[in-house]
Amino acid sequence: MAWTRNVLRVDLTNGTCKREPLNMEWAQQYLGQRGLATKYFVSEVDPKVDPLSPANKLIMTTGPLTGTPASTGGRYSVVTKGALTGAIACSNSGGYFGAELKFAGWDMIIFEGRSPKPVYLWLENGKAELRDAGHLWGKTVWQTEEIIKKAHQDPQVRVSSIGRAGENGVLYACIVNDLHRAAGRSGVGTVMGSKNLKAVAVRGTLGTSSVRDPKAFMAAAAAGKKVLADNAVTGQGLPTYGTQVLMNVINEMGALPTRNHRDVQFEEARKISAEAMHEKRPTDGKSHLVTNAACFGCTIACGRISKIDETHFSVVNKPEYWGASGGLEYEAAWALGAANGVGDLEALQFANLICNEDGFDPISFGATVGAAMELYELGIIKQEQIGMEAPFGSAKALCELAQMTARGEGFGKELGLGSARMCAKYGRPELSMSVKKQEFPAYDSRGIQGMGLTYATSNRGACHLRSYTVASEVFGIPVKTDPLVTDGKADLVKAFQDATAVFDSAGICVFTSFAWTLADVQPQIAAACEGDWSMEKLNEVGERIWNMERQFNLAAGFTAKDDDLPPRLKTEPAKTGPAKGLVNGIDKMKPEYYKTRGWDANGVPTQDTLKRLGL
Amino acid sequence: MQKSLHINAAKCTGCLQCEMACSFEHHGVFNPAKSRIKVFNFEHEGRKVPYTCTQCAEAWCLNACPVDAIRVDAGTGAKVVNEATCVGCKVCTIACPFGTVNYVADTGKVQKCDLCGGDPACATACPTGAITYVDADWTGLDKMRAWADKTDTSSRASA
């Protein structure tokens, strides 16, 4: 069965922890993790709730394959109403925390209410208790992990926590586990902070013993691993170069958003690429990259572990940053780099370290800095307001602003609002490169048309991980489509959205989908879980999850108007590269997409669609 | 030919597939807490190191056991704990210089690597070749080959 069938309900207001049985009927309809936790969430929470009020809930959840030898079977997700977006949020993280949660015997933890004082949840297998976190409040993620491990005298404890960003109300705060893996987007860490919940610490020694057919499962998992190993992207590209392998590729395509999307190619892309991370630095003769690293159960190992240049201005006399640490990954390198025109690799790594250390999303942060730099160059925000010169390309400003945002100081407070609120405040809302108030990731939708529809219709605001059509439009996975046209993209986006919802609900990493289709995942789920898990059913589960999320957002007040891109991408053509002269064709793709989805012209699922999906 | 586990930590990514395979082989559960091989993560250096019993020829654990619960498997050379005989006195855990024999509170016995009877599950599960099962007399072969490759033979060619 692969589920532990145990749900922990934590009432933070009253300080109680209660076990309840998992709703197995829902598990059959929503599988686990993203799907199942969202089903719980939408069943219990008013869609109109203020994300930072005690009435919002926050769910930490594993999937049926979490804590199994299925490759990448270590994922967990956080489901809540996003602080940044006001939409349904589901942020997924790797590392080791998810598997540990499963090994302690839990499918899911539902946090409700608000604790009167800072607390952390301590889980030791079936034992659950809230403990005082007064001494942890004000501490970084890294300090929190260390203090908790010492307090429990157990280095094997796994910790998920918020840093100062989550305490200070940075609207895109993350929940960070294992030092540098994060449930990163939409401000799930901000919601956690609003509940006075500093951390969840877990030690699980029960293991996963409930796989339905262990022999069949081991065979299916082994077959899946072979597919990953034999694939050029997951077997060679990602382990060697990490996601950063994309930097030069996407730049060549003219789809690397640069200087707040003013440009689509960055002249210094090479300096912040995977290739640059491998090169020896002139200063110390060492390469930036130390090694690659895997999350729990992962046979790809795309993670980057790097050491910053000790002589770089950002860390001179700061030996606490000289050790090996996580980064750079592509999205962070882009957002901190190209998005604001900074080509200093070490500065990007420093800003990335600060994001990890104090728990905030480098995509939204970097993109918000990009917007601030544009406002600065337009003379709308003055030097005195920011406290420094902040033109595009300033590595010094980037590093300083990262620290100010972490600490909630000065202009860092405004950056902590995210680009949509900040740009609105200065009377230029159109300069926020976001959808549903969440900033774009690292693909310009003028050069990769399908990504425009992906962003516009993503249920958690602009995001690449809801339907990564880059796979098809750039790499030809599973089939090559032309990135410069809108034809066929509605169907493509729907197919990716539905399939991704299944990956996200199973306990595995969506990066496997560079090599795996659902047909590779299906035998693993079928061998692990009770019930019928045919391809037809999994496709339906994916579509059901997507529509369930959509309904929550509609009930929360979102309309078709919110499925749109900023005017820059619709009216300012790409200046260079293969997409030169193009804007994104969202207005053409959107109606096609609604139709493909079985939604009406206003983007509302029709009764027939809801009935077909059992919603 | 006797074989032994050969660990090349430089290849380890920290995925813990070995720990899951070990616990599944011996306990029928995916549970790193029950694994006889452990991966240690030295985060600030970016190093991950799998570690388990090296099957000492003259095994401290075996010599220390007061009830002869640890015997040599003739086929593999592994020092194997006989659970039926083990009384859980833990003297072997004190005797072992490397910490690779450990007490299991659930069973009241000790456990250590037994090479899975000659087909170690950890080596099979390792996706990167960080753990291999090789000729016990030639665990240095890969390193020798790597260094041999660096030997400059160009002078001979030009002579």
What mean pLDDT is reported for chain B? Answer: 95
DSSP string across A58-86: EEEEE-TTTTSSSTTTT-EEEEEE-TTTS
Look at residue A202 and give its three-state secondary structure. strand
Cβ contacts (< 8 Å) between B19 and chain A: which residues? none
Q: Residue B156's pLDDT is what? A: 61
Residues A416 and A511 in one domain: no
Contact flag A294-B20 (C-beta cutoff 8 Å): no
Which CATH number covers residue A85? Answer: 3.60.9.10
pLDDT at site A186? 98
Q: Say what the pLDDT of residue A210 is.
A: 83
User: What Cα–Cα distance (Å) separates residue A92 from each residue in A34, A199, A440, A459, B82?
Assistant: 8, 17, 17, 14, 44
d(C-alpha A93, C-alpha B67), whole Å = 48
Q: Do residue A435 and residue A558 come from a single domain?
A: no
% of chain B exceeding 70 in pLDDT = 97
Q: What CATH number does residue A576 fall under?
A: 1.10.599.10
What mean pLDDT comes out for the span A462-467? 97
| Strand pairing class (A58-62; A108-112) | antiparallel
| Nearest residue to A94 via CA among A295, A353, A238 | A295
Chain A contact set for B45 (CB, 8 A): 290, 323-324
On whether both A553 and A590 belong to a single domain, the answer is yes
Read off φ and ψ for residue A204, nearest 5 degrees: -120, 120
Q: Mark whether A269 and A392 lie in a shared domain.
A: yes
Instruction: Specify the residue for token string 């420094």.
Output: A388
Give the pLDDT score at A232.
94
Domain assignment of residue A209, yes or no: no
DSSP, residue by residue, A267-328: TTGGGGSHHHHHSBPTTTS-BSEEEEE--TT-SS--EEEE---TTSTTTTT-GGGSS-EE--
Residues A133 and A181 in one domain: yes
Q: Give a yes or no: residue A1 inside a domain.
A: no
The CA distance from A321 to A337, in Å, is 19
- Number of CB pairs, chain A paired with chain B, less than 8 A apart: 86
Taking only the tens place, the pLDDT of each residue in A401-456 is 999 999 999 999 999 999 999 999 999 999 999 999 999 999 999 999 999 999 99
Rounded (to 5) percent helix, strand, coil in chain A: 45, 15, 45
When pLDDT is averaged across residues A566-592 and rounded to a whole number, the result is 98
Instruction: Quick: pLDDT tens for B53-62.
Output: 999 999 999 9
In a domain, A584, yes or no: yes
Q: Do A299 and B47 touch (CB under 8 A)?
A: no
- The average confidence (pLDDT) of chain A is 97
Predicted pLDDT of residue A154: 95
Residue labelled with tokens 């616990």? B23
The pLDDT, as a whole number, for residue B154 is 75
Q: What is the pLDDT of residue A79?
A: 98
Chain B residues near residue A294 by CB distance under 8 angstroms: 13-15
Tell me which of A205, A226, A286, A320 to substitute to probe the interface with B (most B C-beta atoms closer than 10 Å).
A205
For an interface test with B, give the residue of A124, A299, A325 to mutate (most B CBs within 10 A). A299
The mean per-residue pLDDT over the stretch A90-111 comes to 98
- B chain contacts of residue A239, beta-carbon cutoff 8 Å: 13
Which pLDDT band holds residue A552 (cuts at 50, 70, 90)?
very high
Asked if A298 lies within 8 A of B13 by C-beta distance, the reply is yes
As a whole number, mean pLDDT of residues A163-175 equals 98
Question: In terms of domains, do A355 and A474 share one?
Answer: no
Chain segment A296-314, per-residue pLDDT in tens: 999 999 999 999 999 999 9
Task: Give, as one character, the DSSP assignment of residue A563.
Answer: S
- If one counts the domains in chain A, the total is 3
Distances (CA, A) of A11 to A58, A123, A126, A197: 11, 15, 17, 11
> Picking from A33-37, A156-160, A164-168, B139-143, which range would have the lowest pLDDT averaged per residue?
B139-143
Q: Note whether A165 and A265 are same-domain residues.
A: no
Q: Which two three-digit tokens encode residue A407?
A: 């600490």
Same domain, A419 and A470: no
- Domain B3-149, CATH number (from 3.30.70.260, 3.40.50.300, 3.30.70.20, 3.30.930.10): 3.30.70.20
Average pLDDT over residues A335-340: 98
**H helix runs in A361-473, sequence order:** 362-377, 383-386, 395-407, 412-415, 419-425, 449-457, 470-473
Residue A231 domain flag: no
User: Is pLDDT of A343 > 80?
Assistant: yes
Closest chain A C-alpha to B15 CA, distance in angstroms: 5
Q: What is the pLDDT, as a whole number, of residue A1?
A: 60
Bond preceding residue A328 cis, omega within 30 of 0: yes
CB spacing of B30 vs A209 below 8 angstroms: yes
User: Does one domain contain both A11 and A153?
Assistant: yes
Looking at the structure, tell me whether residues A370 and A492 fall in a common domain: no
* Closest C-alpha to A572, from A250, A254, A263: A263
Which of B35, B43, B49, B107 would you mutate first to test chain A, the one with the most A CBs within 10 A? B43
Report the DSSP pairing between strands A303-306 and A325-326: antiparallel
- Cross-chain residue pair B46–A324, CB shorter than 8 Å: yes
Residue identified by tokens 């010599």 is: B63
Asked whether residue A121 falls in the same domain as residue A174, the answer is yes
Per-residue pLDDT tens digits for A173-218: 999 999 999 999 999 999 999 999 999 999 999 999 889 999 999 9
Of A207, A211, A218, the CB nearest to B34: A207
At residue A208, the pLDDT reads 94
Residues of A in contact with B107 (CB under 8 A): none
How far lies B21's CA from each of A97, A372, A539, B121, in Å? 19, 50, 31, 6
pLDDT of residue A209: 87
Q: How far is B126 from chain A (nearest CA, A)?
A: 9
With CA atoms as reference, the chain B residue closest to A211 would be B29
Q: What is the CATH number of the domain that holds A299?
A: 1.10.569.10
Note whether A297 contacts B21, CB cutoff 8 Å: no
pLDDT at B114: 98
Residues A32 and A76 occupy one common structural domain: yes
The 10s digit of each residue's pLDDT in A79-97 is 999 999 999 999 999 999 9
Which candidate from A67, A293, A307 shows the least CB-CB separation from B13? A293
Sort strands B101-104 and B79-81 into parallel, antiparallel or unpaired: unpaired
Longest dimension (CA), chain A: 66
Q: Is residue A210 part of a domain?
A: no
Determine the Cα angle at A576 with ends A573 and A577, to 5°: 115
Section A249-267 average pLDDT: 98
Q: Is the full-model pTM beyond 0.90?
A: yes
Q: Per-residue pLDDT for B153 more than 90?
A: no
Using CB atoms within 10 Å of the CB of residue B149, give its burial: 0 to 12 exposed, 13 to 18 middle, 19+ buried: exposed
pLDDT at residue B18, as a whole number: 98
Prediction ipTM score: 0.95
Within-domain flag for A215:
no
Q: Do A299 and B127 touch (CB under 8 A)?
A: yes
**Token pair of B105 as six digits:** 């509170």
At B73, is the pLDDT very low, low, confident or very high (cuts 50, 70, 90)? very high
**Which of these, A438, A401, A478, lies nearest to A565 by C-alpha position?**
A438
Task: Name the residue among A144, A123, A149 with its Cα closest to residue A133.
Answer: A144
Domain boundary among A392, A416, A439: A439
* Domain assignment of residue A539, given as a range: 449-612
Show which of A404, A419, A439 is a domain's final residue. Answer: A439
